[in-house]
Amino acid sequence: MTVLTAPSPRTAALPLQSPLAPQPAVARARWLDAMRGFTMFCLISRGFGFPRLKDFAWAKSIVHQLDHADWIGMTSWDLIQPFFMFIVGAAMPFAFAVRRARGHTWAGGWPHVLWRAGMLLLLSHIAMIGTGSGWGWQLINVLGQIAFTYVIAYLVLDVRWTVQLAVAVGLLALHYVMHVLWRGVGAAGPWAQDANVGWAIDKALLGKTWQGGYATINFITSATATIAGVMAANVLRSHASAGRKLAILGVSAIALIALGLAISPWVPVIKRIWTPSFAMVSVGCTLLALMAFYAIDIACPRVPWAVLTAIGANCIFLYMTSMLMGGRFREIVTRLLGPFPDWLASHLHGSKDPWLAFGVDWIVLGIMVAMAVWLYRRRIFIKI
């Protein structure tokens, strides 16, 4: 892990459809920093406290969107991990073009890539232990999955977009074939929870399965989000006009969402095992979000992204702090509130517990944001 005292430089635009090439360093891509910060803000918010209010009828629809779908279907919360994995891919062409400018080759980049992937797996393990999951391989949370998809995306980083697209399609096809051809499916069908090929592989190789139906082989299809990030970044780094860039991304987004929904009767949209249909729909939605951040940044160069940029600048630190210290922060804040809960109960004419927990979640989120801003203002960036 490295503590930096200045942000990494970004690179100039490349001709559209070109493989990665060294470029002189220029200013950062603010739209990418803002999108990263927004995604991280959602990730550490734990549903912005609304799950605490789940027993209120008016809050049920909000809570539903701020939690993962039970199995088939998709909620807004299911897009956070695809956003994050996509952003990792989108940052790669910028970061590695700088390395190429310093004389690094694709082959010479592998020690860094493998080191970073290993550190992500280690941090994933530490984070899950901190939540009480115990010892053993921890491969399904966002850091663990990114470790795999980062390596896969680097394999195709320097090739043309047509090859990258072919690899992404191949990964979707591989995941589909693995599920539909697995002989142990039986009457439950290839996409059944706790009865699919991913579940069987984890049980056979790891001696355990993951709560909620998640599977380690999710990285096969989730890698398409990281590859899509690489492809989208190359479009936005190109010399094409802003209108053409947005048109390319928009058409791609609509096509992916339409295709994913079209095949959903046969390949259901399931985030927990990252089915090919979910991969398509989620990448399509991510592209639409990317377009929004890019368009706003182009149309309003002075838009105040500062807080989001600060949050996105220390993603690893904030994620690990949230996982390891979030519960402790909540305990401390609850105690510091003193007699306020009783005053709250007298004004609510009912139980104080859900509203107290809601308020505590927002205070803790504010603490996390304040920490991010403090680090950013002092030019401290903790990276791996």
Note the pLDDT of residue 323: 87
Note the pLDDT of residue 26: 45
Note the pLDDT of residue 225: 98
pLDDT of 80 strictly over 90: yes
Enclosing domain of residue 295 = 2-383
Number of structural domains (the chain) is 1
Which residue has tokens 């960036």? Answer: 381
Closest CA to 216 of 198, 203, 231: 198
Average pLDDT, the chain: 86
Tens digits of per-residue pLDDT, 278-326?
Answer: 999 999 999 999 999 999 988 887 888 899 999 999 999 999 998 888 8
Note the pLDDT of residue 22: 46
- Band the pLDDT of 348: cuts 50, 70, 90: low
CA distances in angstroms from 98 to 29, 165, 275, listed in the order given:
14, 24, 35
pLDDT of 356 strictly over 90: no
**Range of 88-102, 165-179, 206-220, 368-382 with top mean pLDDT:** 165-179
pLDDT of 32 strictly over 80: yes
Q: Which of 36-40, 216-220, 379-383 has the lowest mean pLDDT?
A: 379-383
- Band the pLDDT of 25: cuts 50, 70, 90: very low
Terminal Cα-to-Cα distance of the chain (whole angstroms): 4
Note the pLDDT of residue 336: 81
Q: Which residue has the higher pLDDT, 98 or 136?
A: 98
Contact 195, 188 (CB under 8 A): yes
Statement: the pTM of the whole predicted model exceeds 0.85: yes
Note the pLDDT of residue 244: 94
Please name the amino acid found at residue 119.
M
Contact 35, 87 (CB under 8 A): yes
Residues 6+ apart with CB under 8 A from 46: 322, 326, 361, 365
Note the pLDDT of residue 301: 79
As to burial, measured by CB atoms within 10 angstroms (0-12 exposed, 13-18 middle, 19+ buried), residue 351 is: exposed
Tell me the mean pLDDT in the region 150-171. Answer: 96
CA distances in angstroms from 249 to 159, 236, 252, 281, 295, listed in the order given:
19, 9, 5, 14, 11
What DSSP assignment string belongs to 246-301? HHHHHHHHHHHHHHHHHHTTTS--BTTTT-HHHHHHHHHHHHHHHHHHHHHHHH-T
Cα–Cα distance for residue pair 228/288, rounded to 1 Å: 13
Q: Which of 14-18, 80-84, 287-291 has the lowest mean pLDDT?
A: 14-18
Q: Which residue has the higher pLDDT, 311 or 99?
A: 311
CA distances in angstroms from 302 to 12, 44, 252, 378, listed in the order given:
20, 27, 28, 22
